[in-house]
Structures are given as structure tokens and as C-alpha cells.
Amino acid sequence: MKQKNHLRELTASLLLLISITYSSAQTSKVAIISLADTTIVHQHVGLTIIGNFTDTLHLNLAIKQHIEEQLKKYLSRSYTLSIINDTPDLLSTTKGIYNNWLVLKKEVKNYISSIKDQYDYVIFIANTVIPRETNLIIPENTTGIYTQRRNALVYSTITFFAFRTSNLQKVDFYESYGKLTSPIKDFNLPEDKKSLTPEMLNILKEKIINHLDIRIEYFLAKTYLVPQNLIDEIKAKNP
């Protein structure tokens, strides 16, 4: 009997701890700031340099707004959110978050420190560089499709950086090179590689949206800002 009472007390304590933890997360405030300019392109690598080209794709896709809406969809269940667009000084002086991959830029540090009394976390939507080790020739600040011979994939240089404002500590996660791209299956380019039909463009738009959504969900789950089971639940209700 004592063992059953002890088990009930332990279960109640665990439930209380979970409730307190979840409640604490709900009261946390998150600022989302987009520093990521991006152009939607078709990057093609031919058999020779002469065959290489970069064409702009007109897909009627507002990437910045889409990313912000997806982040809000998942984070709003647990946090109080603000989308901050009035950072002209930060935007004009910052091309990326780091001076290199080890040191935050001074203006970024100063900005995070300046909002620590208003927000618990800040999430930057920014560009990264896709390394040459991937054997991909990717233009800076772009999102789109990359084709070479019969291979096609979707990519984006956009990524995410989350920081605790209290101590400038990065909420880190590992994003392998493989996560930066998504293969496109059963997609055949026209003979000239350029004359994409409206149907092709619609397919590519869906592929780009899907790739961005996967990246967002991966970021949120691997930083533990949102539990994977909650992401799955929200996706099921709001596909």
C-alpha cells in the first residue's frame, strides 16, 4: 500500500514539474527578426562553364512571410511572439550574424543585450554559406533549384539562429550539409534547361515550400524550442 502511495506521489510530482515547465515556456517571450534577403533562382551547372547559368524564378512566393508564419504556427502554442521589423540600423550594418563562425558581430551583441528585458529569446532568420565541400556552386543569398545533368535539388541559404537574451548564449543545433538541400525526384528539365512551363513552376514552388518547412521544423525540434510531438500534432491539425 505504501508503495502505491509513493508511486502516486511520484507521479503527481512529475506531472506538476511538467506543468510548471510548460507554463514557464508559455510565459517566455520570443522576438523573431529577419535579416535574410533572398532571390529565388534556378542555378544550373552544365558540362562546361559555357553551360552554366543562374535564372530568376518568378514563383509569386513571399519567402520571408512564409517563414515567419510557419515559425508563429509552432511557437505561438508555447511562447509570446513578436515579429520585429523596425531594425533599420541592424539591417543596414549586418550582413550575417557573425564576423566569422566563432564571433558574433558587435552590433548583433549590442542589439540582443538591448532587448533582454523585453524578450527571453531572439530568433534571427539569416543567410548562411553552403560550403564548397558539398560540391555545389550556390549563389549567395538565394533559394531555389539546383540542376546538374539529370540531378535536381531544392536548396536555400536561409537558416536560423536562436539566442537567450539574458547571456547571449546560442541555442545550438547541428545542421549537416545534407539538411541544406532536398532532392527532387521525377522532374525532367526541358531540352534547353530554361523553358520551364507553368506546371513545372508550380511543382517547384511546392518543393521549395516543403523544403523550407522541413528546415523550420528541424530547427525548432533540434533546439528543443518546440517538442517534436507538438510539431507533429500541429502539422496534423494544420497541414
Domain range summary for the chain, segments of one domain joined by +: 28-237
pTM of the model: 0.83
Q: Which range among 13-17, 28-32, 36-40, 92-96 shows the weakest confidence by mean pLDDT?
A: 13-17
Q: What is the third-level CATH fold of 28-237?
A: Rossmann fold (3.40.50)
Check: CB of residue 107 under 8 Å from CB of residue 124. no
Q: Residue with C-alpha cell 560540391?
A: 135
Look at residue 21 in the predicted model and tell me its pLDDT. 46
Per-residue CA distances from 8 to 2, 15, 16, 32, 123 (Å): 10, 10, 12, 41, 40
Q: How far from each other are the two terminal CA atoms of the chain, in whole angstroms?
A: 47
Look at residue 3 in the predicted model and tell me its pLDDT. 52
Check: CB of residue 181 under 8 Å from CB of residue 33. no
d(CA 159, CA 234): 22
Check: CB of residue 97 under 8 Å from CB of residue 161. yes
Look at residue 8 in the predicted model and tell me its pLDDT. 58
Check: CB of residue 114 under 8 Å from CB of residue 84. no
Check: CB of residue 168 under 8 Å from CB of residue 124. no
Work out the number of other CB atoms within 10 angstroms of the CB of residue 225. 22
Q: pLDDT grade, residue 94 (50/70/90)?
A: low
Look at residue 37 in the predicted model and tell me its pLDDT. 82
